[in-house]
Amino acid sequence: MSYRGVPSEGSLGSQNVLVEVWSVALDQTDVHLVQNTKVGKVGFIPGRSFLGRIVECGSEIEPDDLKKGEWVIGLLDPAKSGGLTQYVVLNRRRVCGVPHPNRSLSLTKDEYAFLPLCGIPAYRAVRAIVRGVSLSSHPSPSSFPLSSSPSPLSSPSHPFSPSFLSPPSSSSSSRPRVLVLCGHVGPGALAVQMLVRLGWNVCVHVPLVPLVPEEREEGYIARLSSRIRAWGADDVIFDDGGVGYSPSSSLSSSSSASASSSSYGDVFDAVLDTVGGKDVWEASRGLLSQTRMDSTCTIDDADDAQVQIHEKQFVTLLGDTPSNPLPSVRDHWKAGVRTKTPRSSSSSNPSSKISKKTKIKINYAWISLGQDVDWEGEDVAGTLGEVVRVVLTRGHEGERGIRPWVGDSLDGEDTEDGGRIVPFERAPELFNSQRYRDRDRDRGGDRDRDSRRKDGRIEEARSGSGLFENGETAVVRVVG
């Protein structure tokens, strides 16, 4: 443990703010950052996403931008982190002012703490999906009726706002379809709600938590399904992985389940990967290579109108190596090669009167953890401002806006619904899965699972970052 004094106004820095931290949101990436960081003389303090109040502002910060006493949310540099402490100092470009936390009028303190962690990657991912898919046969966001009052989100750079003020398209055949991995929690949950508001057909893939006892699994599935469908998702796929579990095998084996429950079959226009791994990218390419026989796509005039071009989009939040969340130069180079060279596949359309070939272009995008400025030139504070406007915008007929999923537990025992809330003094337990292994053994869960899952998945979930396996998250209440 280390102690540092609170910086004075003179040593704060002209563009920095001193913030008293109230709540900190954590996910699997924070665990990986702790595991991969070499311990220095003063140790490493985890935590990137927080809610707090400004104690002091730098001399060059205008009161109209940020002021003392204002509630703010922020995202710290992942390489340094430092959120699980009483005070943090960070640049003004990493914080955004928010309304006073209030469940009925805005968001709770815990929900606000999640916005930087989940909202930034979700917002940027949805924007990449909307722009990367050829929507000649689908309604584009710009086609939705605009509100009478102008919104900064209705500009070409922010294609979300119009749909929040109008109902989504009711015609399922005209709606583009997206598969969201781990769309029940974290960034996936926010992305699901955004895509639903944009009129997309959303299919959510949920891997079953291996720490759920068999007798409670049915109730767990029912709760998650009810919650996800309440967000507007069209299909929910639950998958226990089976023998030889891996994200890619789970994705491939589950695709057939969606065919029986949806008129779309196995066809997707986009995949949002919140899991990470090269095998997920390879499996997603197979899914995106399928096309609907009745779909109409952009026609390539160079081939005498006999070839149709259908662009699809794969977006990942964690890249090929999720256990190493800070990407290297080589990681960025590999992602750049995939982005510049879209994968293509061809298929014929026998139902057409004129035999035409459909060429599918699969675009690749990586919303990197270390990406402070996005492709639109927007920094962390700018993206946070747009996310705050999105979540506080009421939907059609005044329905509640988009909200991050936090969970309900105040003692850290809620390990099944994908969220847990703990006081500050118990924060170290979130990084020590031994406590949860001991608790689970006392419940007799080992005997039930060993009899039905012998593929080694339990041990995988219990080692390292197993507590945050499958996208689970947590909130640490530093104050209150």
pLDDT tens digit sequence for 25-75: 999 899 889 888 776 666 789 999 999 999 999 999 999 999 999 999 999
pTM above 0.75, yes or no: yes
> Does residue 258 surpass a pLDDT of 60?
no
Domain count within the chain: 1
| Closest of 232, 112, 108, 121 to residue 187, by C-alpha | 121
Establish if 90 belongs to a structural domain: no
The pLDDT, as a whole number, for residue 121 is 95
Identify whether 1 is part of a domain: no
Quote the CA–CA distance of 316 and 280 in Å, as a whole number: 9
Is 101 within a domain? no
Q: Which of 245-254, 429-438, 441-450 has the lowest mean pLDDT?
A: 441-450
- Residue 333, domain member (yes or no): yes
Instruction: Let me know if residue 61 belongs to a domain.
Output: no
- 377-409 pLDDT, tens digit per residue, is 899 999 999 999 999 887 655 566 799 998 755
- The answer to the question of residue 267 being in a domain is yes
Q: Is residue 474 part of a domain?
A: no
Domain range spanning residue 373?
119-398
- Percent of the chain predicted with pLDDT > 70: 64
Residues 6+ apart with CB under 8 A from 89: 7, 12, 13, 16, 17, 18, 19
Asked whether residue 390 is assigned to any structural domain, the reply reads yes
Q: How big is the chain, counted in residues?
A: 480
Grade residue 419 by pLDDT with cuts at 50, 70 and 90: low
Q: How many beta carbons lie within 10 A of that of residue 282, not counting itself?
A: 12
161-207 pLDDT tens trace: 444 334 444 555 578 999 999 999 999 999 999 999 999 999 999 98
- Domain with residue 199: its CATH number is 3.40.50.720
Burial class of residue 266 in the structure, from the number of CB atoms within 10 Å of its CB (0-12 exposed, 13-18 middle, 19+ buried): middle
Q: In whole angstroms, what is the distance from residue 64 CA to residue 386 CA? A: 17
Widest distance between CA atoms in the chain: 76
- CB-based burial, 462-475: b 16+ in 10 Å, e otherwise: beebbbbbbbbbbb
